[in-house]
Amino acid sequence: MKTRSGCPVNQTIELIGDRWTMVILRDIMFGNRRTFRELLGNSLEGIASNILSARLKMLLSEGLLTRKPDPGHKQKSIYSLTEKSIELVPLMVQLGAWGRRHLSPTHELSVRAELLENGGNEMWERFQDDLRHIHLGHPRKTPGMTVLELLDNAYRKAAGITGQETGQSAD
């Protein structure tokens, strides 16, 4: 990649500082949306299919996602996070923390950001371990409820979702 400058802040912005990339990664990270169809159909922000397609292609080529065929549907692909994108968790937390404090998000879409922000470094590390388990197949380090389940339960409670619906696919 030819970059505008050698500044690490600038290089991060050049790669992922557009209006959609972090939104797509958010949906994979927190909503566990792993296929094009899930990412398109459940998009809260109404992403257009050509934009989603272009961003997924960029994320694959830059090593922020990998793709493998869905065992059940050979023509479908399942996307997974990589170590490189899992390490965006602290940045994602700060995007949520600042938005929660200075903009006008809804309560139900803010409870996960609040929990993560208050959980601090220790919770972000555990969340990254959950993602390494789900996306990279690493063994879990900590037994019991995952941070993803904790966040998901808090979201479902705030959104008034009960029963079998999963917050992961409904956020």
Least distance (Å) between residue 129 CB and a second copy = 17
Task: Indicate which single residue of 11, 53, 80, 153 sits in contact with a second copy (rule: CB under 8 A).
Answer: 11
Window contacting a second copy (CB under 8 A); options: 1-9, 49-57, 135-143, 158-166: 1-9
Segment near a second copy (CB under 8 A); pick from 66-74, 90-98, 126-134, 139-147: 90-98
Contact segment (CB under 8 A) with a second copy among 14-22, 53-61, 71-79, 129-137 equals 14-22
In the region spanning residues 37 to 66, those forming contacts with a second copy, defined by CB under 8 A, are 44-46
Binder to a second copy among 54, 91, 136, 145 (CB under 8 A)? Answer: 91
Going by C-beta distance under 8 Å and a sequence separation of 6 or more, which residues neighbour residue 97? 113, 117
* Closer Cβ to a second copy, 87 or 149, answer by number: 87
Dihedrals φ, ψ of 87, to 5°?
-75, 5
Structure tokens at 7: 């500044």
**In this complex, which beta carbon is closest to a second copy, that of residue 106 or of residue 162?**
106
Among 42, 51, 77, 105, binds a second copy (CB under 8 A): 105
DSSP string over the chain? ---S-S-HHHHHHHHH-SSSHHHHHHHHHHH---SHHHHHHT-TT---HHHHHHHHHHHHHTTSEEEEE-SS-TT-EEEEE-HHHHTTHHHHHHHHHHHHHHS---STTTHHHHHHHHHHHHHHHHHHHHHHHHHH-PPPSS-SS-HHHHHHHHHHHHHT--TT--HHHH-
Contacting residue, 39, 52, 56, 88, with a second copy by CB under 8 A: 88
Which position among 87, 140, 157, 165 is part of the footprint of a second copy (CB under 8 A)?
87
**Single residue of 37, 54, 69, 98 touching a second copy by CB under 8 A:** 98
